[in-house]
Amino acid sequence: MTKQLAIVGASGHGKVVADIAELLGFTVKFYDDAYPSKTHIEHWPIHGTCADLIVLNTSDSSFGYDVVVAIGNNEIRLQKIKLLQQNNFNLITLIHPSAVISQYAAIAQGTVVFAGVVINAFAKVGAGCIINTGAVVEHDCIIDDFAHICPNVALAGGVIVGSKSWVGIGSQVKQLVSIGNNCLIGAGSTVLKNIPDNVIAFGSPAVAK
């Protein structure tokens, strides 16, 4: 039977998620709250809002679509994932075939892992995260739920990234450093010291804004 996947979020990020899903053999359908003012993303039609998807899944027992949320904003992604879980959707984890994931790493539900990512032994990645193109998550790292590790980020061994934190493109984080919850690390930063919760920091070395 064909694998079927509803993608919530018709954005640039959603296009990459759809590409991975198709590579893995899924038929995809997009849903986005901008519907009906937005009806397509590239060649893919948008079939309705997230609420429409929930109604469809509730009213039609043969609908049978798994779901993934492809929204870059960490807080909105969290809210949509919680809503879909409350409505009994099967939230899947998508991993690009070129990603290298240690047999000893753990990745929780609803996370997407893009092309060229490496996740090494005993790293733990929480639920609803984005591990973006080419990121390296070294051994023993802990990435909490709904974080976004942007393209080409390098997290050295034992780094902790808190819930809903965003580590900007091309950043690097020294071993054993902790980044708190709800942080934003600017593009191209070098994080050498712990960052407390709710802080925007950038630069090399990264300092709080």
Ligand X SMILES: CC(=O)SCCNC(=O)CCNC(=O)[C@H](O)C(C)(C)COP(=O)(O)OP(=O)(O)OC[C@H]1O[C@@H](n2cnc3c(N)ncnc32)[C@H](O)[C@@H]1OP(=O)(O)O
- Cα dist. 160→133, 156, 164, 168, 180 in Å? 19, 10, 12, 15, 8
H/E run at residue 57: helix 50-59
User: Which is closer to ligand X, CB of 54 or CB of 191?
Assistant: 191
Q: What are phi and psi of 203, to 5 degrees?
A: 105, 175
* Nearest distance from C-beta of residue 48 to ligand X, angstroms: 26
- Cα dist. 101→14, 133, 138 in Å? 22, 14, 10
Single out the segment in contact with ligand X by CB under 6 A; choices: 45-53, 74-82, 175-183, 198-206: 198-206
Single out the segment in contact with ligand X by CB under 6 A; choices: 50-58, 80-88, 173-181, 199-207: 199-207
Known catalytic residues are 139
The Cα 114–Cα 154 span in angstroms is: 14
Q: For 130-133, which contacts have Cβ atoms below 8 Å and span 24 or more sequence positions?
A: 130/13, 130/72, 130/77, 131/99, 132/169, 133/16
Enter the tokens of residue 126. Answer: 């929480």
188 contacts ligand X (rule: CB under 6 A): yes
* Nearest distance from C-beta of residue 16 to ligand X, angstroms: 8
User: Which is closer to ligand X, CB of 177 or CB of 191?
Assistant: 191
Q: What are phi and psi of 118, to 5 degrees?
A: -120, 125
Exactly one of 53, 154, 168, 195 binds ligand X (CB under 6 A); which one? 168
132 contacts ligand X (rule: CB under 6 A): yes
17 contacts ligand X (rule: CB under 6 A): no
Exactly one of 116, 157, 158, 203 binds ligand X (CB under 6 A); which one? 203
With CB under 6 A, what is the number of residues at the site for ligand X?
13
Exactly one of 186, 191, 195, 199 binds ligand X (CB under 6 A); which one? 186
* Nearest distance from C-beta of residue 119 to ligand X, angstroms: 18
CA angle at residue 62 from 16 to 18, to 5 degrees?
5
Contact residues toward ligand X (CB under 6 A) are 132, 150-151, 168-169, 184, 186-189, 200, 202-203
